[in-house]
Every structure is written in C-alpha cells, then in structure tokens.
Structure 1
C-alpha cells in the first residue's frame, strides 16, 4: 500500500467509525461462531498498525505479522514483540500446525495468488483450527481507494467461494457485512464515477457523522451470523480445512 495509507491508518484506527465498528462486528462473529480453547493461539496476518490485536487477544494468545516496517514498529509498540514480517503466500518462519485461529482481515485482496495464500495459511492451523477472513465485495464498487491500497480484486460470494474451494478449504459461514450503510456507499461510488472524481478519500468525517456511522455499522454485531444480511461493502467468512 502507499505510505499515506499506513499513515492514515495509524492516525485513525482508534477513532474512525469503520475501524471501531468493524472490530465490534468481528468480535461478536468470533464469539458466536468460532469455539476456541482457553489456551487458544491466534495469528493475525497483515496486522497493519496492530489495531485488531487487542480485540483478538480477548480470545487467546495473539501474534501478528506485518510486512510494512513502520506499521510493524507501531504494532510492536502497541502490543509487544510478537509481530513478525512473514509474507504471503510463503509465511516463512511461521510453523505449521500452530494456531487455533488465523485472521486475515482485508488482506487477501492485496495478494496476487489468493489460492496459494489460503493454502499457506491452512497449513499453519492446528486440527480443528479456523480462518477468519474479510474481503471487499463487488468489482463494480472499485474506486480510487482500491487503487491506492494496491488491491488486485474485489470479490463476490461466488468468486470467493471458488477461491476457497480451490484452496482445499470450505466455508462454514459466508456473509455480507457493512450492509446497513451499503446504499450510501454505493451511491457515493457511482456519483464519483459519473463526476470523474474517483480519488481515495479516507479522511475522518465530522464528529457527528463519524458517531452516526459507527452506531449504524455497529448495529450489525447483533445480526451477523444470526440472520442473512443484505448486500454489503464487505464479505466475512469462517473457513476450515475439508
């Protein structure tokens, strides 16, 4: 990703509505659908500035991996020296059969060979282990944000299911999320395309808007994995070896 993207992440990941509400939604998805032992070992690949690690640590002992040096340094400062720099799909230095859960949160779209990436991750799971995966949804939603973040693709349920199957995995759950704000996001993307202004604007919104979006998106924590959610900006899946 561009350096500016990491800098914006570092500045906003504790307050921006998207980061905060997404952590809440994913916390409840894990709690509801991934039974973990008391001594669970958890790995987040592509942990960025470490903004998800404290949430994941509620479920077990957490390690991270991040290839950007500055972001990795911030994650270490926040969370401790358990952050490596293994790169997908090889994951050099990460032992096979070690983890009860591996989180890959908006990372797979950055990897050119997504099938090989999931295969490499699956080898690091203990028997019964799970992968928690999130990706952006819908190619027609492509914008300057995707370009600036060096995405190779966005997914649909069909294309993600095909990648999962080709990796020798199965999905126990696959669901849209960030659905309640999807109509607004879709309208914004289409309007920007019509105006020819598809830049990447990830700046903080005004405080009242930030609070409203956080509340609306955060409501999905009570719904995800319980009821089918309508189309959303993102997809979440829980994967296990076949």
Structure 2
C-alpha cells in the first residue's frame, strides 16, 4: 500500500471509504477459502493483512517492506504480525501485493521472486491502479511507474509463473466521477504545480455515501471486466 497516503490519512485510514471498500473487496474476492498465514508484500502499515486477521480465521501475518527501519513484531486481535524488511522463504498460503507492482520497474520479476519463496498452491491476491488514461498528478505524487488494464495485470501474473484464477475491476460505480475529476485536474493543472494525492479526508456523510455506493458492487467484484479504478487479480503458484 502507498505509505504516502498513510501519512495523509493518519489514524483515519481504517475508516476512510476508499480503504474500507478495497479491504471489503479483497475479502469478497477470497471467497469462503480463508487464509491461514499471510505474507503481505509492500505492506506499509499492514492495513490489509491486519484487516484479514481481524475478519477471518487467519492465524498470523508477515508484513514485508523495505521502508521499515528494523524488523519488529506486533499483533492484531491477539494474532502475531511480523514486520520484516525482507524474507528468504515463507510458508504463507496467501500472498498480498496491494498497490505494489505499479511502483517497480520489473513487475513480473518482483512477482516471480515471491512466487519462488512460497509453496505450490499458495494464492496471490494483487491490486493495481487501472487504466493509463487515468494518469494524473496523483500517480506522480505516489511515484507510480504505470497503470494497468485487467489483461495487462493477468499477463504479468502469467509471466511470473502464476496461474490466474480470475480478475476484475473494482470501484466501477465511482469510475465516471473519478475520470471527470482527473480529466479536469489535468486540464487545469499548471506546469509548475506540485503533484499531489487526490485522496483526502471527507465529511462523515460523504465518506458514508461513497462507502455505501461501493458496497453495492461487492457481489459483482470478480465479474466486472469492464471498468473501475482498481484492478484485482487472484492467482495461484503452480
């Protein structure tokens, strides 16, 4: 996840409609097959793995991020969370890469590296920002390299040696509003204006409304191959 957005939202991140909705979509895409141990790559604060620890029978999580100053340990609901700068091997049965691949030059290479660290049958749940035409100062602020279509993300997973089970877009209902907002900001933005994130705190009513809108599309999250702000892919290490 993007550490810069953690800095913007602070303690409000768990209640923000965007992160709440993405966590619910992640949970929906996993279906009834709950994880046992989680490896959260590029985890930042570990928001997504800690969400799964709190809402499933998952027993432990290992969060990996080069931004950590040192290895440490924590917990969520009495379950252990290990924060590591790197790992050599893992017995996790679920690997999360939530908004990670867009930050690296060799996305398939990074994915293949972690596929080699886990046993066959391990699931990979991946999310990335959708559609290059939505590129804006938001992406520049977060130091993205690219945005993806669903076909592009599935191709990356395939090149990494993973077997794609299914994929889809999410945040489809707010997609038109986001597209218009980014189109407008692109036209109005001055050359000298600094890039900035479009994620911000909202009035509680606005936050609740946006969250409710996103809940409507949850049952269809794995079937939307048309449009959205985020691309999800669930794949398995063969």
The TM-score by the shorter chain falls in which range?
0.7 to 0.9
Q: Which aligned runs of 4 or more in structure 1 are off by greater than 6 angstroms?
A: 70-73
Q: Does 1:111 align with 2:92?
A: no
Q: Aligned equivalents of 1:54 and 1:153: distance in 2?
A: 27
**Unpaired runs of 5+ in structure 2?**
none
**Unpaired runs of 5+ in structure 1?**
87-92
Distance 1:72-1:143 versus aligned 2 partners, 3 A rule? farther
Q: Aligned equivalents of 2:71 and 2:179: distance in 1?
A: 32
Q: Does 1:212 align with 2:205?
A: no
Structure 1 equivalent of residue 25 of structure 2: 25
Question: Cα RMSD between the aligned structures?
Answer: 2.6
Cα distance, 1:82 vs structure 2? 0.8
Question: 2:89 pairs with 95, 112, 123, which one?
Answer: 95
Structure 2 equivalent of residue 163 of structure 1: 156
Q: Aligned equivalents of 2:199 and 2:175: distance in 1?
A: 16
Cα distance, 1:120 vs structure 2? 0.9
Q: Aligned equivalents of 1:8 and 1:72: distance in 2?
A: 24
Question: 2:227 pairs with 215, 219, 231, which one?
Answer: 231
TM-score (norm 2): 0.85
TM-score (norm 1): 0.84
Q: How many residues align?
A: 229
Q: Aligned equivalents of 1:71 and 1:140: distance in 2?
A: 38
Structure 2 equivalent of residue 195 of structure 1: 188
Cα distance, 1:20 vs structure 2? 0.9
Cα distance, 1:81 vs structure 2? 5.3
Question: 1:221 pairs with 189, 207, 218, which one?
Answer: 218
Q: Aligned equivalents of 1:36 and 1:216: distance in 2?
A: 26
Structure 1 equivalent of residue 50 of structure 2: 54
1:164-220 per-residue CA deviation (whole Å, 9 max, x = no partner) reads 222122211010111111011111111111212664232212221111001111222
Cα distance, 1:72 vs structure 2? 8.2
Cα distance, 1:163 vs structure 2? 1.6
Q: Aligned equivalents of 1:71 and 1:10: distance in 2?
A: 21
Cα distance, 1:25 vs structure 2? 1.4
